[in-house]
Amino acid sequence: MNQRIGFVSTRFAGLDGVSLESAKWAEVLWDHQHVSHWYAGVLDRSLDVSTCVPEAYFGHPENIWINEQIWGKNHRSSKVTGRIQALTGYLKNTLYEFVQKFDITVLVFENAMTIPMHVPLGIACTEFINESSIPAIAHHHDFYWERPRFSVNAIHDYLDMAFPPRHPGLQHVVINESAREELSWRKGVHSILVPNVLDFETPPLEADPYTEDIRNELGLTPDDIMILQPTRVVPRKGIEHAISLVEMLGDPKYKLVISHEAGDEGMEYLDHIRNMADDAGIDIRFVSTRIGEFRQLDSEGRKVYTLWDLYPHADLVTYPSLYEGFGNAFLEAVYFKVPVLVNRYSIFTRDIEPKGFRVPIMDGILTRKTVEQVRQVLDDPALRQEMVDHNYALAKRFFSYSVLRRSLRTLITNITGLDEL
């Protein structure tokens, strides 16, 4: 029997990890004749297969007000509780409508019961599972205990109840080994590890005429060496190390290109990065206005490229993150066969590095030895090719769609009792 899968989250749009990974799950499920439907507050999926409920978005004014009352405080008023419960009831009713409208047979909750950016939605999902017998998967990307900003709060009861819930019929999925251990210790529930993946069975397409001028459009000359930082400008990305790398390489031909904007964590870090680059005298390019989700023209008639248009033209990717839930940018660099400098953040050290990837590595600090490794990779085409080919083969083995396909078969069998993938 083919399943009708309902994906539920606060947002399915853009290039965040939840949106990207859920789309990959849907693609693999679609290959096996399962149909996917989508429920969220912000959506870029087809309206024919989706239900958009604006109140489910974490940026909805009502949810913003609730968050202002519960984080950084250790007490909440009855008014706050009432508004949480009111929004929970409304969202739960919309979940019932979503399931009924598309005759959903399996639900996949994407981070909705994991990180409490939208507490009423997480509670609504939990109550829905408790009230129905529908087979369900909770796909966890990052838990509240992994983020210091959630440590002081006035909702310990809700966090214990719904983030995530303990329910015998709910199959939990995590993206790294540390999360699996923490979930077991904190909640006493078993989970299955399914890493983030890319379609390594299908190599990237050759560059097409649309991107032939991308380096020139970004202000680079043919002799420049593009060092790409393919992340948002937020403190945990460790971008100061990328600046230090370019400074220590000591040649104006090295240009640091940052693909994304500052995001939702304030502008202070962006200002810090700009000032640091100015003080170091390096050429840094913030190109987020030229990088979008789709190819298009901007208001000035200039081309807008995608991030995947940018990767093939990079000479090196920097990934000096202090913390990551997994590491999509690492996999993307490997997919496009670009060498990548990696800081040994904990998940990389435990889940990725033991596989045997060959990359220049820093361990919290950027040493001259690491800089010389980078220089050697950039200056030696044969070494570079050998390195990226080796990494691609490893990623195809451990982080490809075939890995996801096997995992989804296990998950669907576990919750339905039917081996259908």
The tens digit of pLDDT for each residue in 342-396 reads 999 999 999 999 999 999 999 999 999 999 999 999 999 999 999 999 999 999 9
Average pLDDT, the chain: 93
Structure tokens at 325: 């839930």
For residues 180 and 319, membership in a common domain is answered with: no
For residues 248 and 281, membership in a common domain is answered with: yes
Structure tokens at 253: 């031909």
For residues 248 and 145, membership in a common domain is answered with: no
The pLDDT of residue 317: 98
H helices present in 116-206, as ranges:
119-131, 156-162, 177-187
Closest CA relative to residue 39, chosen from 55, 27, 52: 52
* b/e 374-404 (16+ beta carbons within 10 angstroms → b): bbebbeeeeebeebbeebbebbbebbbbbbb
The pLDDT of residue 133: 85
Give the separation between CA 67 and CA 364, rounded to whole angstroms: 33
pTM score: 0.88
Q: Report the run of H or E that residue 269 belongs to, with start and end.
A: helix 268-280
Q: Report the run of H or E that residue 68 belongs to, with start and end.
A: helix 61-70
Residue type, 146: E
Angle at the Cα of 361 from the Cα atoms of 360 and 367, rounded to 5 degrees = 100
Q: Report the run of H or E that residue 43 belongs to, with start and end.
A: strand 42-43
Contact indicator for 89, 48 with CB cutoff of 8 Å: no
For residues 371 and 408, membership in a common domain is answered with: no
Contact indicator for 294, 253 with CB cutoff of 8 Å: no
For residues 52 and 182, membership in a common domain is answered with: yes
Give the separation between CA 49 and CA 102, rounded to whole angstroms: 8
List pLDDT tens digits, range 168-225: 889 999 999 999 999 999 999 999 999 999 999 999 988 789 999 999 999 999 999 9
DSSP bridge pairs for 136: 107, 170
Asked if the peptide bond before residue 203 counts as cis, ω within 30 degrees of 0, the response is: no
* Res. 154: pLDDT tops 70: yes
The pLDDT of residue 94: 98
* Res. 420: pLDDT tops 60: no
Residue 175 lies in a domain: yes
Residue 421 lies in a domain: no
Residue 327 CA neighbour count, 13 Å, CB half = 29
* Res. 74: pLDDT tops 70: yes
399 vs 294, higher pLDDT: 399
Residue 204 lies in a domain: no
For residues 151 and 294, membership in a common domain is answered with: no
* Residue 54 CB neighbour total at 10 angstroms: 12
Residue 253 lies in a domain: yes
256: left (phi over 0), alpha (psi -120 to 50) or beta: beta
* Res. 341: pLDDT tops 90: yes
**Mean pLDDT score, 115-128:** 97
Residue 203 lies in a domain: no
Structure tokens at 45: 């999926």
H helices present in 281-400, as ranges:
307-310, 328-335, 346-347, 368-379, 381-398
Closest CA relative to residue 276, chosen from 228, 322, 235, 321: 235
For residues 90 and 167, membership in a common domain is answered with: yes
Tokens 């939840």 belong to: 18
Beta strands per DSSP E along 264-412: 284-286, 291-292, 296-297, 303-306, 316-319, 340-343, 361-362
For residues 281 and 315, membership in a common domain is answered with: yes
Give the separation between CA 399 and CA 116, rounded to whole angstroms: 28
For residues 17 and 102, membership in a common domain is answered with: yes
The total domain count for the chain is 2
List pLDDT tens digits, range 281-317: 999 999 999 998 889 999 899 999 999 999 999 999 9
Contact indicator for 331, 399 with CB cutoff of 8 Å: yes
The pLDDT of residue 263: 62
The pair phi, psi for residue 258, each rounded to 5°, is -110, 125
Give the separation between CA 291 and CA 305, rounded to whole angstroms: 5
Residue 202 lies in a domain: no
For residues 246 and 229, membership in a common domain is answered with: yes
Beta strands per DSSP E along 59-135: 106-110
Domain extent at residue 406:
4-197+401-416
Give the separation between CA 259 and CA 233, rounded to whole angstroms: 9
- Longest CA–CA span in the chain (Å) reads 67
* Res. 421: pLDDT tops 70: no
The pLDDT of residue 41: 97
For residues 168 and 85, membership in a common domain is answered with: yes
Residue 59 lies in a domain: yes
The pLDDT of residue 60: 97
- pLDDT tier, 266 (very low <50, low <70, confident <90, very high otherwise): low
- pLDDT tier, 34 (very low <50, low <70, confident <90, very high otherwise): confident
> DSSP state, 112?
T
Residue 132 lies in a domain: yes
List pLDDT tens digits, range 236-258: 899 999 999 999 999 999 999 99
CATH of residue 281 = 3.40.50.2000
For residues 127 and 28, membership in a common domain is answered with: yes
Give the separation between CA 252 and CA 46, rounded to whole angstroms: 46
The pLDDT of residue 306: 93
Contact indicator for 247, 282 with CB cutoff of 8 Å: yes
Q: Which residues contact 260 (CB under 8 A, 6 or more apart)?
A: 230, 231, 232, 233, 288, 291
Supply the Cα-derived Rg of the chain in whole angstroms: 22
**Mean pLDDT score, 64-89:** 97
